[in-house]
């Protein structure tokens, strides 16, 4: 009797590409979705800003009446802060931080996905007010009692949206803290972490301590509006100043939440394109931590005119917080000093960040002087100060990150010519828009008005500011075209197109699902640089380490061996990036292994057949490039 033998084969389940992205927990895909969603909200918020400036280009009502104008600046401010800058920087953090610390993913991948999906949901809720014909119009600060007495669902949608965004950021902060503290590669001590990781870590602590109170306050505001809670409503015995205290206890650390990761980006870009290590690494780390600490002591400088705060205390801390910021300015300038500077697009945006943020920082120091603050409070001076920090600072840092890490994320470099055109238009537009607003503020023009008298002498400055705003809008067109042609072109950037320093460039571009086939071991702040150029250092500085072999295996697996000399593995030079001794690694202290640090074969640790005592042969081309 004939029989049939079944040979079942395991079927391969193929997910659709859309389903794969919608259900992913891969930190890299989540990072890309953060960046994409934030960029779309940036375009939307930018259109709102153009309507604002079109209305103010000349006296009289041009396009929108007063209530619609209130909606425009409320939605513009909320969108740019909560739906653009925060998610965009979170997206870059999601993609880059695990790579820079040698981790396979974030500590809590599913929570990471949940944090992201709350953002577009919150954005849809916020803008659904246009569907129901009622949009929030109490300003992005939503001061009570105005935010209580405003009727309609628009303000409630604003509140629920911010509660969702606050919850998302709190979960994301916990995830970043757990990832950075518990998932670093072997040898990556805290004082060897890349500066971008440090800024994300301090930002996460700021979010963790500042956002819960604000999220609770927005819930209280919702209760006041709908259930007669009386927390902030003076008609029911509430205190509207309490809302200001809670809002700015979050709102001023929020400024550093928006700027610190951008500072981290600049601190990654400048050393690479100056061909020098970051000047004063430890001072920079301490300054970052101090900014986070002092940030909780300056919230009430937004409330000088209320008469409800102790002016000397908050004026002093406002001046004090400028000190660590000034330290960073010197770090950046001396990093470039006598460096071999390459004016690539990321470098131009980093330099633009420094120039613009310096103006914004000086504005803040002026506002710390109490009598001066009384004069310029709620004027266009404050608008100029805020936008020099967030546009001239955060936005330029974001574009530096985009051009710098785009090859890592997508495997292709953006066009340099279009990138430089983008930079020039944005830099000119930013200063043309916001510098005249200093003069308007000094002349007494208050913010949040849609009309002004033609005989005040403000028409020319407002028109100039509006021309600058449209120049900013035009500057985005080269970027969009750049993205379009790059995505249609070949993905041939390679693993390390910038000849960079940190671990993310040791993986392929884009990286595989779990980033590294071999967990890299780190022995300095610039592990990839040390691997590539450690053999060029004087012999007495070369420390032999098995880390070079481990990292090289990972590099070879992903093709990221650009700059590595041929003819054998290059011994890394751990601990020499800044010519410092490492107290946390005793075998590095005097250039040779100390007693008790032998391997399982009894040989001194770090001296292996793969990493001999004699340095590997020097590649002449690498030496020539290094000595230029």
Q: Would you please indicate which residues are annotated as catalytic (active-site) residues? A: 76, 105, 140, 168-169, 252, 254, 256, 267, 301-302, 325, 328, 447
Q: What are the residues whose beta carbons fall under 8 Å from the beta carbon of 94, sequence distance 6 or more?
A: 27, 28, 30, 31, 34, 106, 112, 116
Question: Would you call 398 helix, strand, or coil by DSSP?
Answer: helix
Measured at the CA of 300, the angle between CA 298 and CA 306, to 5 degrees, comes to 160
Rg (CA), the chain: 27
Q: What is the H or E stretch that residue 480 is in?
A: helix 459-488
- Left if phi > 0, otherwise alpha if psi is -120 to 50, otherwise beta: which for 516? beta
Rounded distance, CA 47 to CA 325, Å? 32
Cα–Cα distances in angstroms (integers) from residue 271 to residues 280, 337, 339, 542, in the given order: 12, 11, 9, 22
Rounded distance, CA 20 to CA 451, Å? 50
Given a contact cutoff of 8 angstroms between Cβ atoms, the answer to whether 357 and 389 are in contact is yes
- CA-based nearest residue to 123, from 86, 68, 173, 171: 86
Given a contact cutoff of 8 angstroms between Cβ atoms, the answer to whether 29 and 112 are in contact is no
Cα–Cα distances in angstroms (integers) from residue 3 to residues 6, 7, 8, 380, 409, in the given order: 10, 13, 16, 89, 55
Given a contact cutoff of 8 angstroms between Cβ atoms, the answer to whether 272 and 340 are in contact is no
């Amino acid at each position: 009797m004939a029989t049939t033998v079944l040979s079942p084969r395991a079927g391969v389940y193929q997910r659709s590409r859309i389903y794969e992205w919608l259900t992913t927990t891969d930190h890299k895909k989540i990072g890309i979705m953060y960046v994409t969603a934030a960029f779309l909200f940036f375009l939307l918020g930018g259109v709102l800003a153009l309507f604002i400036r079109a209305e103010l280009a000349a006296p009289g009502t041009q396009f929108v009446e007063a209530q619609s104008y209130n909606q425009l600046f409320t939605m513009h401010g909320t969108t740019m802060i909560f739906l653009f800058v925060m998610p965009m920087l979170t997206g870059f953090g999601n993609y880059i931080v695990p790579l820079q610390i040698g981790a396979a993913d974030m500590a809590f991948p599913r929570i990471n996905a949940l944090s992201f999906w709350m953002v577009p949901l919150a954005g849809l809720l916020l803008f659904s007010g246009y569907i129901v014909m009622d949009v929030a119009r109490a300003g992005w600060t939503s001061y009570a009692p105005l935010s209580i007495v405003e009727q309609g669902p628009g303000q409630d949608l604003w509140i629920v949206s911010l509660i969702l965004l606050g919850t998302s950021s709190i979960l994301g902060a916990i995830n970043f803290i757990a990832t950075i503290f518990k998932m670093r590669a072997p040898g990556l001590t805290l004082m060897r972490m890349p500066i971008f990781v440090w800024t994300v870590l301090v930002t996460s602590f700021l979010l963790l301590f500042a956002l819960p109170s604000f999220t609770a306050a927005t819930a209280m505001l919702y209760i006041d509006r709908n259930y007669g809670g009386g927390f902030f409503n003076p008609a029911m015995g509430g205190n509207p100043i309490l809302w200001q205290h809670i809002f700015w206890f979050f709102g001023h650390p929020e400024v550093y939440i928006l700027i610190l990761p951008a500072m981290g980006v600049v601190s990654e870009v400048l050393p690479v394109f100056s061909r020098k290590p970051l000047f004063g690494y430890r001072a920079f780390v301490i300054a970052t931590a101090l900014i986070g600490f002092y940030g909780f002591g300056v919230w009430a400088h937004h409330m000088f005119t209320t008469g409800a705060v102790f002016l000397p205390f908050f004026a002093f801390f406002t001046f004090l917080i400028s000190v660590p910021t000034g330290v960073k300015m010197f770090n950046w300038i001396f990093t470039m000093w006598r460096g071999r500077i390459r004016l690539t697009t990321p470098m131009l945006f980093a330099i633009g960040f420094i120039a613009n943020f310096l103006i914004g920082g000086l504005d803040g120091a002026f506002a710390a002087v109490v009598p001066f603050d009384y004069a310029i409070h709620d004027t266009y001076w404050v608008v100029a100060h805020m936008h020099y920090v967030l546009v001239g600072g955060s936005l330029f840092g974001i574009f530096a990150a985009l051009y710098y890490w785009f090859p890592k994320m997508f495997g292709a470099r953006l066009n340099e010519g279009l990138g430089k055109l983008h930079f020039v238009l944005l830099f000119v537009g930013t200063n043309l828009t916001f510098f005249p607003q200093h003069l308007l503020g000094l002349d007494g023009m208050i913010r949040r008005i849609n009309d002004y008298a033609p005989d005040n002498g403000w028409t020319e400055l407002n028109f100039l500011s509006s021309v600058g705003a449209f120049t900013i809008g035009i500057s985005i067109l080269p970027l969009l075209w750049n993205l379009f042609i790059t995505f249609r072109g070949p993905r041939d950037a390679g693993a390390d197109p910038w000849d960079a320093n940190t671990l993310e460039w040791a993986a392929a571009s884009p990286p595989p699902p779990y980033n590294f086939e071999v967990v890299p071991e780190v022995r300095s702040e610039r592990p990839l640089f040390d691997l590539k150029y450690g053999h060029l250092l004087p012999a007495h500085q070369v420390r032999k380490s098995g880390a070079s072999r481990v990292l090289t295996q990972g590099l070879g697996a992903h093709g990221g061996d650009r700059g590595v000399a041929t003819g054998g593995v290059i011994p890394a030079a751990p601990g020499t990036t800044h010519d410092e001794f490492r107290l946390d690694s005793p075998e590095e202290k005097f250039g040779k292994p100390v007693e008790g640090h032998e391997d399982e074969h009894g040989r001194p640790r770090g001296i292996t057949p793969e990493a001999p005592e004699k340095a590997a042969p020097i590649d002449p081309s690498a030496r020539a490039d290094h000595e230029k």
